[in-house]
């Protein structure tokens, strides 16, 4: 019997009472609720407890529920903790919850070729999995991705992005492109409702070829048959997740392939993974790839929804990039957001602090000439009608506000004299102001993640409201 959130708790309890179960499969939260509410459950004859993706269960804050579940089970049982990555927290749980634990580690051996000899080395990934990396500039990255999909249209592909907003954006943009019109493209991320996630997953599972765009919500615990390619368009924030992502292919002895896109300044990630027994081979960039940026910009000009999703995706990516665990490799201060924005097909650079204060490079960005962002309309007529209504109300409110009195000329002169500062003083003040604004911006991002503020408030406070 399956016990997960998103389904009716009462229905679960009714099914257990009426039908019973020999095997319960579920999330720690739902199983804990069932055990807490149903006194009639008898676990005295339970034989086996399995904790799959044990490290992730602990990271997600389920330690309290897991400890409570274990305390209600008979001590004479078999317990297994399974994961592709074993953390210290898993080791601690094993010591506390297992009796006489035995560690079983599965490795594959591969031949390492060098000039002098051939030697065997262990790998964390299956033998049938071939892994590659492709290094390219940020403004060429999206075109390289589309070229890759186009050349593998008959394959089943999962593409990983770093944020929900980037999945939403590319899920809207890619079907607009001429070469991908006939390609099934399905988005999946954690902010979608449970029913929508289940529908997306079922649709992709049934396909013989197609593309699933997703976040790390689909990095673990999914067995999707026939996946040929894993594409990591954005490397994961947590390097441990890399192995879980590529584990969606080459399953049960089948062959599989994986590729990760890297920027030139991220090349050290290849050596980092090699040290962790995850070897990658280089794949050269295609030189004759069609530039898709004009097509993306054309779609953004015709539909405000595309433009807004692009800005949100771009901002969310830059903010998420700051949270990389391997910050010595993925240094956000080295991020060339001018080229990145071009790759996203943005019409203009958003007014976020990193752009306003030029703390990051804006080189390589060519803004669209003679365009007024406020005049771009939604294709959805009801949304456009509501937008115009909101604009009208905003103008009326601003008109009603009394204009502040103009200061006298002599007061202006006095203020100007007092306000004169040396170039060194001005630079020092600007540096402090930039640091303060970036700190403020980081705090707002934390509030957004916790749900203290919503996306519209976040956009207003960070200066991106003009695009919404």
Cα distance between residue 458 and residue 468, in whole Å: 11
Q: Please, what is the average pLDDT of the chain?
A: 86
- Band (100; pLDDT cuts 50, 70, 90): confident
Cα distance between residue 425 and residue 448, in whole Å: 35
pLDDT score of 437: 67
- Band (446; pLDDT cuts 50, 70, 90): confident
Could you tell me if 68 and 29 are in contact, meaning their C-beta atoms sit under 8 angstroms apart? no
Residue 463, pLDDT > 80, answer no
CA distances in angstroms from 318 to 11, 234, 323, 373, 466, listed in the order given: 43, 11, 9, 22, 18
- Band (414; pLDDT cuts 50, 70, 90): low
pLDDT over 70 percentage in the chain: 84
352 CA to centre of own chain: 20
Nearest C-alpha neighbor of 256 from the set 285, 223, 215, 214? 223
Give 305-364 pLDDT, tens digit per residue: 999 999 999 999 999 999 999 999 999 999 999 999 999 999 999 988 877 776 788 999
- Band (400; pLDDT cuts 50, 70, 90): confident
The segment with the largest mean pLDDT, out of 135-149, 245-259, 340-354, 419-433, is 135-149
Q: What is the mean pLDDT of residues 90-109?
A: 72
Q: What is the mean pLDDT of residues 425-454?
A: 69
Q: Map 118-157 to HEC letters.
A: EEEEEECCCCCEEEEEEECCHHHHHHHHHHHHHHCCCCEE
The model's pTM:
0.76
Cα distance between residue 352 and residue 374, in whole Å: 18
Give 1-23 pLDDT, tens digit per residue: 888 877 788 888 888 888 888 89
- Band (116; pLDDT cuts 50, 70, 90): very low
- Band (105; pLDDT cuts 50, 70, 90): confident
DSSP 373: G
Residue 115, pLDDT > 50, answer no
Handedness of CA 242, 247, 249, 255 (dihedral sign): positive
Which residues, at least 6 apart from 147, have a Cβ–Cβ distance to it below 8 Å? 286, 289, 290
Residue 156, pLDDT > 80, answer yes
52 CA to centre of own chain: 22
The values of phi and psi at residue 131, to 5°, are -115, 140
Q: Where are the alpha helices (DSSP H) in 127-265?
A: 138-151, 164-173, 194-206, 240-246
Nearest C-alpha neighbor of 269 from the set 330, 223, 317, 334? 330
Q: Where are the alpha helices (DSSP H) in 370-422?
A: 381-400, 409-418
Give 186-239 pLDDT, tens digit per residue: 999 999 998 999 999 999 999 999 999 999 999 988 889 999 999 999 999 999
- Higher pLDDT among residues 250 and 103, named by residue: 250
pLDDT score of 120: 46
Cα distance between residue 227 and residue 158, in whole Å: 7
Handedness of CA 300, 306, 307, 310 (dihedral sign): negative
Could you tell me if 305 and 468 are in contact, meaning their C-beta atoms sit under 8 angstroms apart? no
Give 277-292 pLDDT, tens digit per residue: 999 999 999 989 999 9
- SS3 (DSSP) at 109: strand
């Amino acid at each position: 019997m399956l016990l997960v959130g998103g389904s009716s708790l009462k229905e679960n309890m009714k099914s257990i009472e009426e039908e019973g179960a020999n095997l319960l499969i579920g999330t720690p939260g739902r199983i804990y609720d069932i055990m807490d509410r149903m006194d009639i459950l008898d676990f005295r004859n339970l034989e086996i407890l399995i904790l799959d993706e044990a490290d992730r269960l602990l990271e997600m804050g389920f330690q309290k529920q897991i400890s409570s579940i274990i305390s209600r089970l008979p001590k004479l049982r078999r317990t297994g903790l399974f994961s592709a990555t074993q953390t210290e927290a898993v080791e601690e749980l094993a010591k506390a919850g297992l009796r006489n634990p035995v560690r079983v580690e599965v490795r594959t051996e591969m031949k390492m070729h060098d000039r002098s000899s051939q030697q065997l080395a262990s790998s964390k990934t299956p033998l049938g999995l071939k892994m590659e990396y492709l290094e390219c500039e940020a403004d060429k990255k999206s075109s390289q991705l589309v070229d890759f999909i186009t050349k593998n249209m008959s394959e089943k592909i999962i593409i990983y992005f770093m944020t929900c907003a980037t999945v939403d954006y590319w899920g809207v943009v890619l079907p607009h492109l001429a070469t991908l019109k006939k390609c099934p493209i399905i988005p999946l991320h954690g902010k979608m409702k449970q029913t929508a996630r289940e529908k997306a997953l079922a649709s992709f599972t049934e396909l013989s070829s197609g593309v699933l765009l997703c976040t790390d919500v689909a990095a673990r615990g999914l067995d999707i048959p026939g996946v040929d390619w894993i594409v990591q368009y954005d490397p994961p924030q947590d390097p441990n997740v890399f192995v879980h992502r590529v584990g969606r292919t080459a399953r049960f002895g089948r062959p599989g392939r994986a590729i990760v896109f890297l920027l030139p300044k991220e090349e050290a990630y290849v050596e980092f993974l090699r040290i962790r027994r995850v070897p990658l081979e280089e794949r050269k960039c295609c030189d004759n790839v069609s530039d898709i940026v004009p097509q993306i910009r054309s779609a953004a000009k015709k539909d405000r929804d595309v433009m807004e999703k692009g800005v949100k995706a771009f901002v969310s990516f830059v903010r998420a990039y700051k949270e990389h665990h391997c910050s010595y490799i993925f240094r956000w201060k080295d991020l060339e957001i001018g080229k990145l924005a071009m790759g996203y097909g943005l019409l203009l650079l958003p007014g976020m602090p990193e752009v306003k204060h030029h703390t990051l490079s804006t080189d390589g960005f060519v803004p669209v000439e003679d365009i007024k962002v406020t005049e771009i309309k939604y294709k959805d007529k009801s949304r456009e009608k509501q937008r115009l209504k909101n604009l009208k109300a905003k103008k009326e409110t601003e008109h009603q506000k009394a204009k502040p009195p103009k200061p006298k000329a002599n007061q202006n002169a006095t203020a100007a004299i007092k306000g004169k500062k040396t170039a060194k003083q001005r630079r020092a003040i600007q540096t402090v102001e930039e640091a303060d604004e970036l700190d403020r911006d980081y705090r707002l991002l934390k509030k957004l993640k916790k749900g203290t503020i919503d996306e519209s408030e976040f956009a207003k406070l960070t200066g991106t409201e003009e695009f919404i």
